[in-house]
């Protein structure tokens, strides 16, 4: 897997009213994969969204890019899943896998530079 990333120049905090622009913050990208339980305790379907993908109790393991800074040349990367404390893979349960690639690592909080650019090539999920 490879990526190119260029942070935008106008960092915006859209979580506040009025929206703040031109902040002295350098944007970073985010690439993550989250393995999570597909059903809750009552058997109801679970689907994580941008609101709860980073906090849900149903998350079991995560693989996350550590360095989201600018990459001017194609940069190879590999992510490895790490299980959350007290979480294990249970073959009797159903799971879902969410892969999130964002040009602004705090985009889920309505923060980031409007013209940040992330390009990911040859994305591959390998199971053992």
Q: What gap in Å lies between CA 27 and CA 88, rounded to an integer? A: 33
| Burial of residue 79 (number of CB atoms within 10 Å: 0-12, 13-18, 19+) | middle
The whole-chain average pLDDT of the chain stands at 95
Q: Is the Cβ–Cβ distance between 10 and 114 less than 8 Å?
A: yes
Q: How confident is the model at residue 126 (pLDDT cuts 50, 70, 90)?
A: confident
> Which pLDDT score, from 0 to 100, does residue 108 have?
87
pTM of the model: 0.88
- Residue 36 pLDDT level (bands cut at 50, 70, 90): very high
């Amino acid at each position: 897997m490879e990526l190119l990333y260029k942070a935008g120049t106008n960092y915006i905090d859209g979580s506040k009213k009025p929206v703040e622009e031109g902040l002295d913050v350098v944007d970073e990208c985010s690439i993550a994969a989250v393995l999570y339980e597909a059903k809750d305790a009552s058997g109801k379907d679970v689907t994580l969204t941008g609101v709860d993908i980073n906090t849900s109790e149903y998350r079991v393991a995560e693989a996350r890019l550590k360095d989201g800074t600018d990459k001017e040349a194609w940069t190879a990367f590999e992510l490895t899943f790490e299980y959350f404390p007290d979480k294990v893979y249970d073959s009797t349960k159903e799971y879902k896998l969410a892969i999130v690639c964002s040009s602004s690592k705090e985009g889920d909080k309505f923060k980031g530079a409007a013209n940040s650019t992330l390009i990911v090539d040859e994305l591959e999920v390998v199971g053992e």
